[in-house]
């Protein structure tokens, strides 16, 4: 039985047929009630106030309505599953042809490429997180309802993985910060219909993001007890070699906080010079020279100064690939039905930003 909800973009209520006629079905579960109580404990300051503390964006009545609506949307939105497809690749086409009607959207590609399984692979984890961060910054309004559901389900799995495995929490904190900032801006512009879906669903999602941020803030790193060989037992030249393998300055600083020996190695001028030369061109050095007290160039400060003005090179263990012959986007391990005589010559790795650009029309 079709029914239009308060927002024409919402899917409406869930109805069941009884002997007395059609009745609205509101699913209820103890887990849902616990989730409501947990989210209710989060401060609504970020949602209810803007830049000025006296400026209210939503009234208390709106938030109560959002809490009620959370119960109705629990069955539809709070699920760990996503839309699965047999093929883990997608044909990227930007115009209609006789063989194919319509065009490929960002949301469709996001649903088809199995990012939920990709985050379990350590080679692809950083790649997927970076892609989610780029979508959070500029492409949230381009996602369909199904793509939004998959996006937040994958994000939920990422947060759980970080909490359980304590893997790269800094990267996820940056992602959630960008996502919450973007949502706050977009929710204020609801009068312009910038978000697909009911506004109360987005308010609930913002509350969930605040809950995730609180979980990561309270994350305690477990100290592993190991009687075998440790990092401190390695010789200096091996420790130095490890530091030279890093491509992120923050990773070098973090490792330098482990022991005094690693701190000494992490402050090496030559290490930071190599890092600057890897990420930036020589012309960029000349514009932002930062001499130290002894008259030498402070390469460590140079790196973070240049990072503010220029993008750094990104390194990933595995990325999506695009076949120029077939116009298909896929994970290299899963493959695709290529018709080229030599498929390897047609492959092109796709960076997260390139992935976003493929679906800009």
pLDDT in tens, 87-132: 678 888 766 555 555 567 777 787 788 888 888 888 888 889 999 9
Q: Give me the pLDDT at residue 99, please.
A: 56
For the residues 335-341, what does the mean pLDDT come to? 80
Convert the pLDDT of each residue in 28-71 to its tens digit.
444 444 555 554 554 444 444 444 444 444 455 555 555 555 55
Query: CA 116, CA 154: separation in Å to the nearest integer?
Result: 6
Distance separating alpha carbons of residues 149 and 51, to the nearest angstrom: 29
What pLDDT was estimated at residue 132? 92
What's the pTM? 0.66
Specify the pLDDT at position 209: 92
- Mean pLDDT across the chain: 75
Of 31, 4, 29, whose CA–CA distance to 15 is shortest? 4
pLDDT exceeds 50 at position 3: no
Task: Give strand pairing partners of 229.
Answer: none
Residue 154, burial from CB neighbour count under 10 angstroms (0-12, 13-18, 19+):
buried
Report which DSSP code applies to 102.
S
Contacts of range 297-306, beta carbons closer than 8 Å, 24 or more positions apart:
297/269, 297/273, 299/269, 299/272, 299/273, 299/275, 300/249, 300/267, 300/269, 300/272, 302/272, 302/276, 303/249, 303/272, 303/275, 303/276, 303/279, 304/249, 306/276, 306/279, 306/280
Q: Count Cβ atoms below 10 Å from residue 323 Cβ, excluding itself.
A: 22
Tell me the average pLDDT across 228-243.
84
Q: Which two tokens stand for residue 283?
A: 């012309």
Q: What is the pLDDT of residue 218?
A: 85
Beta bridge partners of 291: 297
Flag whether pLDDT at 25 surpasses 50.
Answer: yes
Average pLDDT in the 69-91 region?
55
Decide: 320 and 330 in contact? Cβ < 8 Å: yes
Mean pLDDT for the stretch of residues 154-172:
87
């Amino acid at each position: 039985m079709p029914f239009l909800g308060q927002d024409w973009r919402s899917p409406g209520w869930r109805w069941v047929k009884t002997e007395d006629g059609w009745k609205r079905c509101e699913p209820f579960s103890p887990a849902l009630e616990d989730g409501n109580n947990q989210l209710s404990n989060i401060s609504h300051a970020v949602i209810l106030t803007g830049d000025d503390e006296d400026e209210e964006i939503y009234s208390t009545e709106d938030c109560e309505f959002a809490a009620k609506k959370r119960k109705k949307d629990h069955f539809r939105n709070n699920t760990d599953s996503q839309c699965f497809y047999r093929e883990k690749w997608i044909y990227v086409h930007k115009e209609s042809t006789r063989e194919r009607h319509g065009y490929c959207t960002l949301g469709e590609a996001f649903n088809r490429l199995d990012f939920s399984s990709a985050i379990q692979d350590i080679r692809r984890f950083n790649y997927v997180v970076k892609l989610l961060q780029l979508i959070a910054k500029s492409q949230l309004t381009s996602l369909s309802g199904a793509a939004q559901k998959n996006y937040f389900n994958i994000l939920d799995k990422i947060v759980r993985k970080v909490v359980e495995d304590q893997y790269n929490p800094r990267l996820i904190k940056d992602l959630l910060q960008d996502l919450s900032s973007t949502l706050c801006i977009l929710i204020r512009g609801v009068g312009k219909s910038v978000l697909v879906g009911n506004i109360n669903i987005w308010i609930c999602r913002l509350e969930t993001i605040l809950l995730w941020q609180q979980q990561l803030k309270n994350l305690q790193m477990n100290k592993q007890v190991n009687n075998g060989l440790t990092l401190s037992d390695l010789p200096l030249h091996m420790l130095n070699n490890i530091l030279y393998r890093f491509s992120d300055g923050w990773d070098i600083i973090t490792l330098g906080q482990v022991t005094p020996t690693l701190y000494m190695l992490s402050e090496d001028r030559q290490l930071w010079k190599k890092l600057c030369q890897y990420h930036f061109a020589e012309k960029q050095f000349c514009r932002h020279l930062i001499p130290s007290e002894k008259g030498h160039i402070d390469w460590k400060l140079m790196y973070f100064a240049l990072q503010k003005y220029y993008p750094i090179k990104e390194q990933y263990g595995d990325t999506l690939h695009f076949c120029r012959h077939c116009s298909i986007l896929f994970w290299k391990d899963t493959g695709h039905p290529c018709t080229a005589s030599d498929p390897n010559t047609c492959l092109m790795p796709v960076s997260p930003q390139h992935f976003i650009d493929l679906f800009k029309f």
